[in-house]
Amino acid sequence: MSSGQTGTSALPSTDPVDLKEQPHRRWNPLKREWVLVSPHRTQRPWQGQTETPAQPPVLQYDPECYLCPGNQRAGGHTNDKYTSTFVFVNDFAALKPDVPEFTVDQQGLLVAEAESGTCKVICFSPRHDLTLAKMDVPSIRKVVDVWAEQTEELGSRDDIGYVQIFENRGAMMGASNPHPHGQIWASRSLPNELVLELAGQKAYLEEHGTPLLSAYLELELAQGERVVVQNDYFVALVPYWAVWPFETLVLPRHRAARLTDLDPAARDGLANILQQLTSTYDQVFNVSFPYSMGLHPAPPDGEEHPEWQFHLHFYPPLLRSATVRKFMVGFELLASPQRDITPESAAETLRQAAAKRTT
C-alpha cells in the first residue's frame, strides 16, 4: 500500500509504488491523454523568471475603466449604470455572426472553413475593486444566473454549436482590466477541448455504463485526498490527472448535463463553492490568485447527453510563489504535459489555505 494515503481515505490505495517519489505518467480519461508527473524535481533551484504580483485595485469606481458603470468604452458605447451584472457584445469580438460560407480543402492539407459566432463580456459586479473571491455568495449567484441565461439564449440559436463561458483572472493570464468580468465565446463549431471531452465521456459510458465524471467523483469522495472544498451540491478537487500546479475541477454531486439543469438550491451551491474555492486560492500565496476558469456544459444540441456531467475547470499558472509561474514549454509543447508537485500535495496545500480562510 502507498505511504501517500491520508487519514481521510476510506479506500486503500491500489498504487503499486509510491507516487509521491517516483516519476510516472497519469491518464486523463476526459481528454484521453497522458500527463507526466515528476515529483522528485520539486527541490531543484529556481533561477528563472519571476513575476511582479499585480497590486489589487483600490478604487471602487475607476473613471478610466471601460467596464465600470456609466463609462464609455473604446468602441464609443456607454455602459449602463448597472447595479449587479452587465452583459454586452464584445467591441473587439473574435467571432462575428455574419460570415460568408466557404470551405477550403486541398489534398486534406490546406483545410479551412468559415466560422461564425458571437462574443460577449459579462461584468460580475459594478465594483471595480472586487473579485469573485471578495464578492458575497448572493452576488455570485447572480453571476451564475447570468451564465445560465446566456448559455440558454445563445445555445438555442441554430447558428451556435457551443457556448464557452470563461474568466481570465489577473494580468498573468492576460486579463487586460482588473474589473471583475468574464467572457462568452459562442461558436458555430464545437471547439477542440469539447470534442475531446465528448469523445472521452462517450467512450467511458459505453465501456462502464456510468457517466465518467459521476463515477470519478464517487471515487474521489471515497479516497478524499484530492478534495479541496465541498458543500451539499458541489465538490472542488485537484484532478488525479491535473496538469497545472493548482488546477481544480468543480463537479456537481447530482446528475446535471448543463448549468440550466441546476435547480435554485444547486445554483446557490455553485455560487458558494466558487466563493470558497476562489478565496482559498487567494490564501495560497497571499495574493489575488490568477487563473483561467471556464464552464463545460454539454453541447446545446437538443440531445440529452447521458455521458456528460456539467463541470468547471480552474487553471491557475502559479507554481511555487506569487511570482514564479509554471511555463508550458519544451517537453510540454513538444511531447506531453508535465508537472512537478503531485496533485495530492497540491490538494493538501489548498486544504491548508482553505483552513486559513475560515479561521
Q: Which is nearer to Zn ion, 179 or 305 (CB)?
A: 179
- Considering only residues 119-138, where is the footprint of Zn ion by CB under 5 A? 128
Report d(CA 267, CA 254) in Å as an integer. 12
The count of other CB atoms within 10 Å of the CB of residue 265 is 9
Q: Which is nearer to Zn ion, 130 or 228 (CB)?
A: 130
Least separation in angstroms between CB 337 and Zn ion? 15
Binding-residue total with Zn ion (CB under 5 A): 8
**DSSP state for residue 191 in the 8-state scheme:** P
Stretch that binds Zn ion, among 41-49, 72-80, 81-89, 296-304 (CB under 5 A): 296-304
181 interacts with Zn ion by CB under 5 A: no
Which three-class secondary structure string do you get for 2-36? CCCCCCCCCCCCCCCCCCCCCCEEEEECCCCEEEE
**DSSP state for residue 95 in the 8-state scheme:** S
- Considering only residues 196-215, where is the footprint of Zn ion by CB under 5 A? 197
CB 291 within 8 A of CB 248: no
Q: Which amino acid would we find at residue 186?
A: A
Report d(CA 252, CA 273) in Å as an integer. 10
Least separation in angstroms between CB 79 and Zn ion? 9
Q: Is there a catalytic annotation at residue 181?
A: yes
- The answer for residues whose C-beta is within 8 angstroms of residue 37's C-beta and 6 or more apart is 19, 23, 24, 25, 26, 338, 339, 342, 343
67 interacts with Zn ion by CB under 5 A: yes
Q: Which amino acid would we find at residue 230?
A: Q
Stretch that binds Zn ion, among 165-173, 195-203, 215-223, 336-344 (CB under 5 A): 195-203
C-alpha cell at 325: 509561474
Least separation in angstroms between CB 294 and Zn ion? 8
68 interacts with Zn ion by CB under 5 A: yes
296 interacts with Zn ion by CB under 5 A: yes
Least separation in angstroms between CB 310 and Zn ion? 9
Detail the DSSP E strand segments found in the chain. Answer: 24-28, 33-37, 86-89, 103-106, 110-113, 117-123, 162-169, 181-187, 227-230, 234-237, 248-252, 291-296, 311-315, 338-339
Q: Which amino acid would we find at residue 14?
A: T
267 interacts with Zn ion by CB under 5 A: no
Catalytic choice (128, 179, 181, 313):
181
- The answer for residues whose C-beta is within 8 angstroms of residue 140's C-beta and 6 or more apart is 124, 132, 271, 272, 274, 275
Q: Cell 494515503 identifies what position?
A: 5
Q: Which is nearer to Zn ion, 68 or 119 (CB)?
A: 68
226 interacts with Zn ion by CB under 5 A: no
Report the residue from 169, 179, 267, 305 that binds Zn ion according to the rule CB under 5 A. Answer: 179
Stretch that binds Zn ion, among 35-43, 87-95, 218-226, 292-300 (CB under 5 A): 292-300
Report the residue from 65, 95, 190, 198 that binds Zn ion according to the rule CB under 5 A. Answer: 65
Residue whose CB is nearest to Zn ion in the complex, by number? 65
- Considering only residues 15-44, where is the footprint of Zn ion by CB under 5 A? none
Q: Which amino acid would we find at residue 340?
A: D
Q: Which is nearer to Zn ion, 34 or 166 (CB)?
A: 166
221 interacts with Zn ion by CB under 5 A: no
305 interacts with Zn ion by CB under 5 A: no
SS3 at position 62? coil
Stretch that binds Zn ion, among 65-73, 136-144, 150-158, 315-323 (CB under 5 A): 65-73
Stretch that binds Zn ion, among 68-76, 283-291, 314-322, 345-353 (CB under 5 A): 68-76
Catalogue the active-site residues: 181
Residues that bind Zn ion (CB under 5 A): 62, 65, 67-68, 128, 179, 197, 296
